[in-house]
Amino acid sequence: MDYKVRKTDTTTEVLLSGRLTFTDHEQFRSVMALFDEPVKGQKFVFDLAGLEFVDSSGLGMFLIARDTAERNDCQLVLRGAHNQVRRILDIAKFGTIFNIED
């Protein structure tokens, strides 16, 4: 998995690409570090357009991000998922606990 960060005053966008799996735990930690200095009401967007594949461990990382965002009163959005990524988000019913945008 690779990622890029785009920041504005109100929004932090994390553009994920490649495959997000069990082996990316360490790297995802550095993504999570973005939540370390939260601004109340800040919006976090995981842009998944470049993501080809997510396994259940990858979904676990979104759950950890969600937990952190909730504790910091931040809004978290999963955006642009397609193909397998979209499918696994549907199977895991992530729409019921995340804001999912096309």
Partner 1 sequence: MTDHTLAPPAEAGAAHGSELDLQLRHARVLIVDDSKFNRQILARFVGWAGVTQIEFANDGVEGLEKIDSFKPDLVLADYGMPRMGGVEMTQKLRQRSDMVDLPILIQTTLNTDQQRVACFKAGATDILAMPVNPGECMARVRLHLEKLLLIREMKKFRERIESELKLARNMQMSLVPDDRKVKKVIEPRGITIDYLFEPSSEMGGDFWNIFEYSDTAMAVINVDFSGHGIGAAINTFRLHTIIDRTPLKGRQPGEWLTEVNSALKDVLPMGQFATAFVGIFDTATNLLTYAGAGAPSPVFGNPDGSVELLDASGLFLGVSKRTTYPDRTHAFEPGSFLVTYSDALIEEVTDSNPKALEEAGLQSWIEDIRKAAPDKPMRVLLDRFFQTYKRPPLSDDLTCIWVSR
User: Residue numbers of the site for partner 1 (CB under 8 A)?
Assistant: 22, 53, 55-57, 59-61, 63-64, 67, 84, 87, 90-94, 96-97
- Residue 40 Cβ, how far from partner 1 at the closest point, in Å? 22
- Residue 80 Cβ, how far from partner 1 at the closest point, in Å? 20
Nearer to partner 1, 38 or 60 (CB): 60
Size of the chain, expressed as the number of residues it contains: 102
- Residue 36 sits at the vertex; the CA angle it makes with 10 and 66, to the nearest 5 degrees, is 75
- Copy the structure tokens of residue 44: 């976090």
- Residue 6 Cβ, how far from partner 1 at the closest point, in Å? 25
Cα–Cα nearest to 34, from 76, 78, 1: 76
